[in-house]
Amino acid sequence: MSLTIESITCWLVDIPTIRPHKLSMATMGCQTLTIVRMECVQGVVGWGEATTIGGLSYGAESPEGIRSAIETYLAPLLCGQTFSGVASLAQMMNASVKGNTFAKSALETAFLDALGKQLNVPVSTLLGGALTQRLPVLWTLASGDTNKDIDEGKRLLAEGRHNTFKLKIGAGELHSDIRHALAIKAALGDGVSVRVDVNQAWDLPSAIKGMALLQEGGIDLVEQPIPLWDTRGLIALSQRFTLPILADEAVATLHDGYGLANGGFTGAYALKIAKAGGPVQALKLAHVAQAAGVALYGGTMLEGTLGTVASLHAWSTLKMQWGTEMFGPLLLKDDIVANPLVFSDGQVTLPQGPGLGVEIDEDKLRYYARK
Ligand code: MUC
Ligand code: MG
């Protein structure tokens, strides 16, 4: 079984968010999905997606840069070539294109979707087989206003949609950010897990102060408190506090995961298909973490349904000690799919059809595509 890639088409799709989403480095009012359509000579079509957050403020690839890398370099490289699977696809992309893992992730996803359709199996089957059909999903409270976040959290708890929350801090002064987090924790109650993501905003002394207060206030997990380059600091923090650390920006590939674990990091890794270069590449990092006894968490770059489902197929093959945050589609006012994901009881259901199991609404794709 193999697939020959005939053509690759790329769109930038801009979709407004349901409310401003405030992170330490940017406030989002819109998300841009870089959508890829991969047509194969065998008659199957695969779809993939890459997203980042806040233009170039979060990561090294912008939506426009992802599209350019695909159209200028990766599509000409891959079109006309035959691949027996993701291993040879990744080998060819990596031999000619350094980095650009977001662009590679969209292409690896599209290839997996096409291969699953050709073989009439879900992508999860290609990745080892799903251990579960429903995965836990938290929600991020990040309106930028403590009372609005409390109201939103209480409403989602009452609706039963989520029972775990992540807060975005780091944009404000340390003590006011801590007050914000602890006020939300106190309002939502003891039975509700509340975590914070600092998105690299603190230096090491601030992180030591902040983590002591967060630990005492009952916060369950602190994500990427210090800059991604400070791996020594992250390891030291992970050994100093009982409050666990989730490494996000600091751990993109299996090599990062190996380095941190080898240096003595305890805690968890946020897996993201975009950071690693695709679902299969993210699973390589997961397996390094498993070998080192580091816990796992299913992370998002706030993808729409396509990227979220691609991630879910990969995460479904793993035991995720810290659950997932695959809520991206719920943050968007609309999407380009005909069959939206089903979220309920703090969980999301993995689509069952061949490939990703996602049907594209091409009218919506045309409507939202950047002209
Ligand atoms: C991040 O750094 O984790 C994930 C959830 C969310 O609200 O933002 C993203 C980015
Ligand atoms: Mg994060």
DSSP category for residue 355: B
The residues facing 8 across adjacent strands are: 38
pLDDT score, position 1: 86
Kindly name the residue from 168, 185, 272, 275 that is annotated as catalytic: 168
Helix/strand/coil percentages in the chain, nearest 5: 40, 25, 35
In CATH terms, 126-349 corresponds, of 3.40.710.10, 3.30.565.10, 3.90.850.10, 3.20.20.120, to 3.20.20.120
Sheet holding 3-22, edge to edge: 45-50, 27-40, 3-22, 82-83
Amino acid (1-letter code) at residue 362: E
- How far, in Å, from the CA of 301 to the mean position of ligand 1? 6
Find the length of the chain.
371
CATH fold group of domain 3-121+361-368: Enolase-like; domain 1 (3.30.390)
DSSP category for residue 153: H
Q: What are phi and psi of 156, to 5 degrees?
A: -70, -35
DSSP result, 108-131: HHHHHHHHHHHHTSBHHHHTT--S
pLDDT tens digits in sequence order for the chain, 371 residues long:
899 999 999 999 999 999 999 999 999 999 999 999 999 999 999 999 999 999 999 999 999 999 999 999 999 999 999 999 999 999 999 999 999 999 999 999 999 999 999 999 999 999 999 999 999 999 999 999 999 999 999 999 999 999 999 999 999 999 999 999 999 999 999 999 999 999 999 999 999 999 999 999 999 999 999 999 999 999 999 999 999 999 999 999 999 999 999 999 999 999 999 999 999 999 999 999 999 999 999 999 999 999 999 999 999 999 999 999 999 999 999 999 999 999 999 999 999 999 999 999 999 999 999 99
The closest residue, in CA terms, to atom 9 on ligand 1 is 301
Would residue 284 show up in a list of annotated catalytic residues for this protein? Answer: no
Q: What is the pLDDT of residues 50-83, one digit of tens each?
A: 999 999 999 999 999 999 999 999 999 999 999 9
Tokens representing 230? 């400070």
Q: State in Å, rounded, how far the first CA of the chain is from the last one.
A: 38
Would residue 168 show up in a list of annotated catalytic residues for this protein? Answer: yes
Cβ atoms 34, 49 nearer than 8 A: yes
The closest residue, in CA terms, to atom 5 on ligand 1 is 300
Listed by start position, the domains of the chain span 3-121+361-368, 126-349
Cβ atoms 348, 137 nearer than 8 A: yes
Q: Average pLDDT of the chain?
A: 98
- Ligand 1 site residues (CB inside 6 A) read 53, 140, 142, 197, 199, 248, 299-300, 302, 325
The closest residue, in CA terms, to atom 2 on ligand 1 is 199
